[in-house]
Amino acid sequence: MSALDELRQLRHGSVQVRKRDNKAAFWFLAPWFAGLVFITVGPVLASFGLGFTKYNLIQPPKFIGFDNFVRIFSDERLHNALRVTFTYVLVSVPLQLACALGVALLLDRGMRGLAFYRSAFYLPSLLGSSVAIAVLWTQVFGAEGLLNRVLGFFGVEGKGWISDPDTALSTLIVLNVWTFGSPMIIFLAGLRQIPAVYYEAASIDGASRWSQFWRITLPLLSPILFFNLVLQIIHAFQSFTQAFVVSGGTGGPSDSTMFYTLYLYQQGFSRFDMGYASALAWFLLLIIAAFTAINFWAAKFWVFYDD
């Protein structure tokens, strides 16, 4: 069963689960489930409690009511972190998906060495959030980096792109766009699901490639696009490593790469204010939940399910 079929069935609640499968699945899932309960759920619940305390990591937490949550509204550096994070999410995700779709369309036309290209384009998304790539980025966008050498070739004088607050965030956006591989693979799978007869019928009727894309491909691909959008937005909100490595953990210069998660981390582990950090974590959960809810609501107007 393809992913697309499954999506359709899920939507109509027509997935019939067989009991025996269920049991086997349980055993296969058990190790993961144990990990989830003990390593994830426990600390997550604990962090909810810590959100109402003053806790410096060493002495026992002190209950302070809603103080940490109230502080969220007056913390100017946090508001800046929110601005940075929103900019990052709202700019990089659409660009990334556009790239992913564009490349998927090219690859879908079938060419020699398709498997190679597919892997080559996918590779960055495996590495994208790794420390190694973030280090590479500092080499590319540094004052004596690759970009400036290329620019120098054309007589343009560069600068330290990462160490200038006007351009530092843009380099991270480029990094995120560059890792378009995983949505691209999903788009490719989706494109394969669109029956060729639609295109044949359209071209007999004289439809141009352009209108075929708008009237056939995009509507039929919209569930996949929606899926990618939801996932990548959540993913982008949680970005941490890139900013941490590129800025040496400071979120600088001038807080210009201060992602929400990085700010949260600094509150917990540099300022030893784990209570506030916990409150921030829950606030981030609210933000992501709100974004996802809006996404699902808006989906009614543009996602088309071909029944």
What's the Cα-to-Cα distance from 60 to each of 57, 139, 272, rounded to whole Å? 8, 43, 13
Q: Candidates 97-105, 197-205, 252-260, 293-301 — which segment interacts with other proteins by CB under 8 A?
A: 252-260
Task: Name the residue nearer to other proteins (CB basis): 163 or 212.
Answer: 163
75 binds other proteins (CB under 8 A): no
Q: How far is the CB of 90 from other proteins (least distance, A)?
A: 22
Residue 305 CB burial class (10 angstroms; 0-12, 13-18, ≥19): middle
277 binds other proteins (CB under 8 A): no
Binding-site member from 86, 160, 189, 299 for other proteins (CB under 8 A)? 160
x/- contact string, 163-202, with other proteins (CB under 8 A)? xxxx------------------------------------
Q: How far is the CB of 262 from other proteins (least distance, A)?
A: 12
269 binds other proteins (CB under 8 A): yes
59 binds other proteins (CB under 8 A): yes
93 binds other proteins (CB under 8 A): no
273 binds other proteins (CB under 8 A): yes
Task: Name the residue nearer to other proteins (CB basis): 138 or 232.
Answer: 138
Q: Candidates 187-195, 225-233, 234-242, 249-257 — which segment interacts with other proteins by CB under 8 A?
A: 249-257
Task: Name the residue nearer to other proteins (CB basis): 221 or 274.
Answer: 274
Strand-pairing partners, residue 54, are 62
Q: Candidates 96-104, 111-119, 227-235, 245-253 — which segment interacts with other proteins by CB under 8 A?
A: 245-253
Q: What's the 3-state SS for the chain?
A: CCHHHHHHHHHHCCCCCCHHHHHHHHHHHHHHHHHHHHHHHHHHHHHHHHCCEECCCCCCCEECCCHHHHHHCCCHHHHHHHHHHHHHHHHHHHHHHHHHHHHHHHHHCCCCCHHHHHHHHHHHHHHCCCHHHHHHHHHHHCCCCHHHHHHHHCCCCCCCCCCCCCCHHHHHHHHHHHCCHHHHHHHHHHHHHCCHHHHHHHHHCCCCHHHHHHHHHHHHHHHHHHHHHHHHHHHHHCCCHHHHHHCCCCCCCCCCCCCHHHHHHHHHHCCCCHHHHHHHHHHHHHHHHHHHHHHHHHHHHHCCCCC
How many Å apart are CA 196 and CA 191, to the nearest integer? Answer: 10
Task: Name the residue nearer to other proteins (CB basis): 163 or 193.
Answer: 163
Task: Name the residue nearer to other proteins (CB basis): 58 or 286.
Answer: 58
Q: Candidates 20-28, 115-123, 251-259, 287-295 — which segment interacts with other proteins by CB under 8 A?
A: 251-259
Binding-site member from 33, 66, 271, 298 for other proteins (CB under 8 A)? 271
208 binds other proteins (CB under 8 A): no
Task: Note the residues at the interface with other proteins (CB under 8 A).
Answer: 56-59, 142-143, 159-166, 247-250, 252-255, 269-274
